[in-house]
Amino acid sequence: MEAINNLISGGVVQDIMFYVFAALTLLCAILVVANPFSRSPVTSAMFLVLTIISMSGLFLLLHAFFLAAVQILVYAGAVMVLFLFVIMLLDLKEEQRRKIKFFGLAAGLVSVSIVAGIFIKSLASIKLTAEPALEGETYVLGKLLFTQYTLPFEIISILLLVAMVGVILLSKKKLE
């Protein structure tokens, strides 16, 4: 019994969970971008939902409980429903398999290798030794949001209003 307790508090279970969620996230992300079985955007959207859900598992492992909930509510709930709605509305034809252009492939590989360079360079300069002791609880986060970050919070609400008005204007029947 004590051995099991040590195992759990030692974080072995959490490490395993990390690998499971990370593998799920990456696998689903690959299936969003390059699905060998289907080219329809609906499949991509469904796998994006799975990616987001497994990412919220990663957030849980990072003790960001509020953000994990928001991730599922806003992304998997609202944003993806919007995506699916538009896909159904547009009645898209299947994307045809076309030859991958050499230029596109080269541009993709170059940009990814540039990002990889930045990544490796920044990893080398990380000096974090502190043991993580942070809890991303709703109470703490809300307190921070309404004291230190009140102005950005209000600006965000204005942004949402502007986006709402803009969307209504854009989707009016007559677009002149």
Partner 1 sequence: MHVSLHHYLFVSFMLFSLGLLGVIMRRNLLVIYMSLELMLNAANLALVSFSRFNNKLDGQVLVFFIITVAAAEVAVGLALIVALFRKRQSAHVEDLTSMKL
Contact status: 117 vs partner 1 (CB under 8 A): no
Q: Which of 8, 13, 20, 26 binds partner 1 (CB under 8 A)?
A: 26
Instruction: Give yes or no for residue 70 binding partner 1 (CB under 8 A).
Output: yes
- Terminal alpha carbon distance of the chain: 72
Q: Which of 86, 88, 150, 154 binds partner 1 (CB under 8 A)?
A: 86
Q: How far is the CB of 126 from partner 1 (least distance, A)?
A: 7
Owner of token pair 């796998």 = 47
State how far the Cα of 6 lies from the Cα of 1, in Å rounded to an integer. Answer: 9
Cβ proximity of 39 and 94 under 8 Å: yes
What's the closest the beta carbon of residue 1 comes to partner 1, in angstroms?
24
76 and 53 Cβ atoms separated by less than 8 Å: yes
CA-based diameter of the chain, in Å?
72
CB of 7 to partner 1, least distance (A): 13
Assess 88 for contact with partner 1 (CB under 8 A): no
Contact between 5 and 31 under an 8 Å Cβ cutoff? The reply is no
**Length in residues, the chain:** 176
Task: Establish if 58 lies at the interface with partner 1 (CB under 8 A).
Answer: yes
Q: Which is nearer to partner 1, 1 or 133 (CB)?
A: 133
82 binds partner 1 (CB under 8 A): yes
Interaction between residue 18 and partner 1 (CB under 8 A): yes
